Structure formats: structure tokens, C-alpha cells
């Protein structure tokens, strides 16, 4: 079967992310460490990872960040991720659902996640679409996206770094705030605003607080670089100009820990914040929770296991959960919220 343009793009994104090194130059979680507690006075078995997020009970504070859907092989990837999300009772997002809205035969690459008992399913669409669609079409399309995966929340992805590097990118940012506001005011599920590797600043988080969104996923710099992915895509298409742009902007963005501190400062104490970007294991997750995140998003670290098998995906998530538990035990924290009182050492 011949792939349409969106399908080939989705396929290329995943293939490049698997085959090339698309990480930003530096992972800023390496600069942070948690203060060791040599006398934790709790038992590891009493460490409780359960978390409530957007009214849903999760067994541990992890979100499988939205990555894929929209080309045939994505179905198996989403299926393996969904099986793991069910087993570990975690939140899970899918990648941009635009392809599923446009092409009927691609819907099952997303809606396969409906077959699993996942406590919090998150739909996904790029922010530029809100401007291109306008208010009424946005409401109608997002309602279809919600139906497609039985979404409990929808993420609007601020991916302007990618849009500006991508040779076919749609860098329509004028009117996005208005689009977000209108959607959040008129849809009856929570709206999450997410970045995808360039981070959210204090100022942007403050502006988002003027809308009725329910959570921010700050998606900072330190993990997957979309400039890097688009660099390799442009090379694949013999496009020297965009390949060069991808290289120039490879490390563009706000480091995830810094973005987390800025967002936490900008929003109310109880406003839900997801930290993502460069989370490689449960110890990175513990650092993010100690810096004030309510939940931690993981994308690239789960991509390879999810392309291999359900067993590999389960192994990886089990490792994340066990590492987080170990870090909590070693800092004397018996529940997730208590991590906020642990001293974080680093440049903060
Ligand atoms: C192959 C791939 C595809 C992605 N597609 C999407 C997408 O469609 N929508 C989105 O909001 N984010 C997408 N992301 C971004 C992730 O959700 C996440 O924000 C980003 O990768 C940073 O996390 P990481 O460093 O753990 O990979 C994608 C990431 C990867 C690796």
C-alpha cells in the first residue's frame, strides 16, 4: 500500500528516532542529585507510588508521552505501550491524531488503545491545527479525537521548533492562545498544553494560566530533539537547507529542570504539572518529582522496547517504577508528595 504524506512523515519520525542519535547534546538531569538519607526510617515495601492526576488514580506517577499513530506499524507500538499502561495502571498519550482524522483506515493505529484498561488516556493534536481549523472545526475535530481513543484528556502540542525546521512545517502560531482558550472553555474534558522538547518558560506558563487549561506538560530540552529528527528527515529528502537548520537548532530550548522550576513558579501550588524531556529512568523521574512535578512523562526511552515487544515494554516500565521506588526509599519518602521536601543539589 502506498503511504500518504502524513503516514510517511510519521514512519520517518519513528525510524529516525530509533536509528539515529536524536538526543540533545546534554541531559540536564545529570546536573541534579537528590540528598541521600542514610537513615530513611521506612521500609522499601511501604513506599507508595499511587498518584491522583486530573481526577484519575494511577499506580505510579508516569505518563507514556504521546509518540505515534497514523501509519500501519504504529498500531503495534501503541498496542505494546497500551498493554504496559494497563499492567502498571499508568497514563498514556498517543501521537498527533491528525492522520486518524483524515484517513479512516489509519484510525485503528490509535484506537487500539481503547482495548486496554488505561486509567488516563490522552489525545493529541499540534497547536497549529487549532489556528488552521478555527474554533468550530477545532471543537468538532477534537470531539472526534476524543471518541477515537476514549480520551480522558487532550494534549495540545506546542511544537513550533519542529514546525519551523520541518520542510513542510506549518508554523502558524498567531491565534494559538485564543484557540487553546476557546477549546478549554468549550470541551468537557481537561485540556493539557504540552511542549515537545523545547520547554515552557515562566512567562508562557503565566500566560497559559489566563486560560482554563487543566495541566501543563513542559516537555523541556535534554531528551529527544525534534530539530535533530527533522535534520535527518531533511537529509533523507536531499534538502540541504532544512538539514542545516536542524543542525543549527539541535540544542534549542529550555533545559527540562529549569523549565520545571519556571513553570512551578508561575502556576498555582496545586496546578498539575507534568515534567518530560530527557527522562531516562526512574531516578530522573524522582528528581523531577522532587523539583515539583506531579507526574513525569517518558517518550524516547520507551520507543525501542515498544517496537520490539510487549515483554520488552513491560520490562522497561517495571525498571522505571522500581528505580523510582528505590530513589524514594533512599530519600526517606514513603509517598510521592513527600519527594517535594527532598533537597535537590545542582545549579538550581
Ligand atoms: C518518535 C516520536 C514522535 C513523537 N510524536 C509526537 C506527537 O505526535 N505529538 C506530541 O505532542 N509529541 C510527540 N513527541 C514528543 C514526546 O511526546 C515528548 O514530548 C518528547 O519526545 C520529549 O520526551 P523524551 O525526551 O522522553 O523523548 C514524539 C516523540 C518521539 C520520540
What tens digit of pLDDT does each residue of 293-335 get? 999 999 999 999 999 999 999 999 999 999 999 999 999 999 9
Ligand 1: residue whose CA is nearest its atom 11: 157
Give the whole-number percent of the chain exceeding pLDDT 90: 96
Please report which confidence band the pLDDT of residue 170 belongs to, taking 50, 70 and 90 as the band edges: confident
Does residue 1 surpass a pLDDT of 90? Answer: no
Domain that holds residue 143: 5-32+40-345
Q: How far apart are CA 75 and CA 62, in angstroms?
A: 21
Residues 49-69: tens digit of each pLDDT: 999 999 999 999 999 999 999
- DSSP helix/strand/coil, 244: helix
Query: Per the structure, how many domains does the chain have?
Result: 1
Does residue 260 surpass a pLDDT of 70? Answer: yes
Ligand 1: residue whose CA is nearest its atom 26: 299
- DSSP helix/strand/coil, 223: coil
Residues 171-181: tens digit of each pLDDT: 889 999 999 99
Ligand 1: residue whose CA is nearest its atom 31: 300
Pocket of ligand 1 (CB under 6 A): 13-14, 17, 65-68, 95-96, 124, 155, 157, 194, 196-197, 219, 223-224, 276-279, 298-301, 303
- DSSP helix/strand/coil, 191: strand
Please report which confidence band the pLDDT of residue 139 belongs to, taking 50, 70 and 90 as the band edges: very high
User: Would the CA dihedral through 136, 189, 256, 80 be positive or negative?
Assistant: negative
- Ligand 1: residue of 198, 224, 274 to mutate (most ligand atoms within 8 A of CB) is 224
Please classify residue 74 by burial: count the beta carbons closer than 10 Å to its beta carbon, then call 0-12 exposed, 13-18 middle and 19+ buried: buried
Q: At what angle do helices 310-330 and 300-308 cross, to 10 degrees?
A: 140
Which CATH number characterizes residue 165's domain? 3.20.20.70
Does residue 72 surpass a pLDDT of 90? Answer: yes
Give the mean model confidence (pLDDT) for residues 19-25.
98
Angle at Cα 62 formed by Cα 192 and Cα 162, nearest 5°? Answer: 50
* 45 CA → ligand 1 middle, Å: 33
Please report which confidence band the pLDDT of residue 12 belongs to, taking 50, 70 and 90 as the band edges: very high
Please report which confidence band the pLDDT of residue 164 belongs to, taking 50, 70 and 90 as the band edges: very high
Does residue 347 surpass a pLDDT of 90? Answer: no
Q: What is the mean pLDDT of the chain?
A: 97
Please report which confidence band the pLDDT of residue 3 belongs to, taking 50, 70 and 90 as the band edges: confident
Give the mean model confidence (pLDDT) for residues 23-32.
97
- DSSP helix/strand/coil, 201: coil
Q: How far apart are CA 52 and CA 58, in angstroms?
A: 6
Amino acid at each position: 500500500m502506498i503511504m500518504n504524506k502524513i503516514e510517511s512523515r510519521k514512519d520517518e519520525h519513528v525510524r529516525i528516532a530509533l536509528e539515529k542519535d536524536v538526543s540533545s547534546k546534554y541531559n540536564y538531569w545529570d546536573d541534579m542529585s537528590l540528598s541521600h538519607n542514610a537513615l530513611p526510617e521506612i521500609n522499601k515495601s511501604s513506599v507508595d507510588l499511587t498518584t491522583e492526576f486530573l481526577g484519575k488514580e494511577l499506580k505510579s506517577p508516569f505518563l507514556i508521552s504521546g509518540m505515534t499513530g497514523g501509519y500501519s506499524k504504529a498500531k503495534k507500538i501503541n498496542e505494546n505501550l497500551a498493554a504496559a499502561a494497563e499492567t502498571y495502571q499508568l497514563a498514556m498519550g498517543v501521537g498527533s491524531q491528525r492522520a486518524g482524522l483524515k484517513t479512516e483506515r489509519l484510525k485503528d493505529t490509535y484506537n487500539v488503545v481503547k482495548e486496554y484498561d488505561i486509567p488516563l488516556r490522552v489525545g493529541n493534536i499540534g497547536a497549529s491545527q487549532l489556528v488552521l481549523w478555527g474554533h468550530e472545526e477545532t471543537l468538532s475535530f477534537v470531539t472526534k479525537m476524543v471518541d477515537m481513543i476514549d480520551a480522558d484528556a487532550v494534549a495540545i502540542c506546542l511544537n513550533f521548533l519542529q514546525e519551523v525546521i520541518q520542510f513542510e512545517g506549518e508554523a502558524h502560531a498567531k491565534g494559538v492562545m485564543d484557540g487553546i482558550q476557546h477549546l478549554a472553555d468549550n470541551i468537557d474534558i481537561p485540556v493539557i498544553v504540552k511542549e515537545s522538547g523545547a520547554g515552557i518558560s515562566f512567562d508562557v506558563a503565566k500566560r497559559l494560566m489566563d486560560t482554563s487549561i487543566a495541566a501543563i506538560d513542559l516537555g523541556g530540552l535534554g531528551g529527544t530533539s525534534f530539530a535533530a529528527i527533522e535534520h535527518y528527515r531533511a537529509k533523507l529528502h536531499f534538502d540541504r537547507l532544512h538539514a542545516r537548520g536542524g543542525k543549527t537548532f539541535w540544542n534549542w530550548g529550555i533545559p527540562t529542570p529549569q523549565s520545571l522550576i519556571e513553570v512551578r513558579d508561575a502556576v498555582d501550588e496545586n496546578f498539575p504539572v507534568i515534567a518530560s524531556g530527557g527522562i531516562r529512568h526512574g531516578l530522573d523521574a524522582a528528581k523531577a518529582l522532587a523539583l515539583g512535578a506531579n507526574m513525569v512523562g517518558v517518550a524516547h526511552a520507551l520507543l525501542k522496547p515498544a517496537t520490539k515487544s510487549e515483554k520488552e515494554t513491560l520490562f522497561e516500565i517495571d525498571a522505571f517504577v522500581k528505580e523510582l521506588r528505590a530513589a524514594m526509599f533512599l530519600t526517606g519518602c514513603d509517598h510521592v508528595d513527600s519527594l517535594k521536601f527532598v533537597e535537590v543539589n545542582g545549579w538550581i
